[in-house]
Amino acid sequence: MVPTKLFDSERRVIEAAERLAATLGSDPNHTVAAAAMDAAGRIHRAVNVYHFTGGPCAELVVLGAAAAAGAGPLVTIAAAGDGGRGLIPPCGRCRQALLDLHPDVLVAVPTDEGPALRPVRKLLPDTYVFPDADARRIVRFNKRYYEDVASGRKTSTVRHDDPIAPGPALFLFEDDEAHRTLHGTVTGVERHRLDRLTAVQARLDDPAGLDEFKQGLRGHYPGLPSDAEVDVVTFTVTAPGTVR
């Protein structure tokens, strides 16, 4: 059972992997299924290819299938085992490949409370990063901000424990049935302590709203301490979104 705390799109990815895994079992060379969603909402599916020379895992095969379909950056991925094994986490090699090629993908993992989504970087702390991967970056927004971002009314965001680097990025609006995206550029990232953050640093038009703004951040990041470091990210929109 997939918890309701996941977006519908995230549930669909997990369910797609589990449905495909349920069809496996008669061939020992194909025992794991994977599904991945791109920014357009398309789900790509694949199975592993076991071989004693090191046949690829299902996650790697689905990366190739998605690339062949012109998918662009992937936003969610899940894998499931045959024989009713359910959701399974990626191996170390797959985690490294995902981090290098799709550094902003969310990975489905099993927990005691049910399936959960983790940023791939959380699965490989202090890892090596392949410098020549040239992966396209994703910046996620709540879907309610689409019009403000698209029109240029919203040009900044404050994040905690969500590394965003300056440069080109695809702006993804989560849980959006239309799967709208925008091309943009992250123009700057400034780090500040939350308790010392000023209205000017937070890019607030009304300084009187600073306390409410900080309270909103604590609501978005439960347990956020007052001395936490947050990143003020500035950005511009360069073109309407496409995924290829």
User: What is the Cβ-side half-sphere exposure of residue 71, based on CA atoms within 13 angstroms?
Assistant: 26
86 — alpha (psi -120 to 50), left (phi > 0) or beta?
A: left
Q: How far is CA 197 from CA 36, 194, 229, in A?
A: 38, 5, 9
Q: How close are the terminal C-alpha atoms of the chain, in Å?
A: 33
Do residues 73 and 170 make contact, with C-beta atoms less than 8 angstroms apart?
yes
Our answer to whether residue 59 is catalytic in this structure is: yes
Catalytic annotation, pick one of 10, 15, 18, 59: 59
Determine phi and psi for 163, rounding to 5 degrees.
-60, 125
- Here the tokens at position 230 are 């947050």
Structure tokens at 50: 């076991």
Which H/E stretch holds residue 18?
helix 8-22
> What distances in angstroms separate CA 171 from CA 120, 149, 183, 221, 231, one per listed residue?
18, 9, 6, 20, 17
Give how far Cα 20 sits from Cα of 106, 157, 243, Å: 20, 38, 25
Q: Which residue numbers are catalytic? A: 59
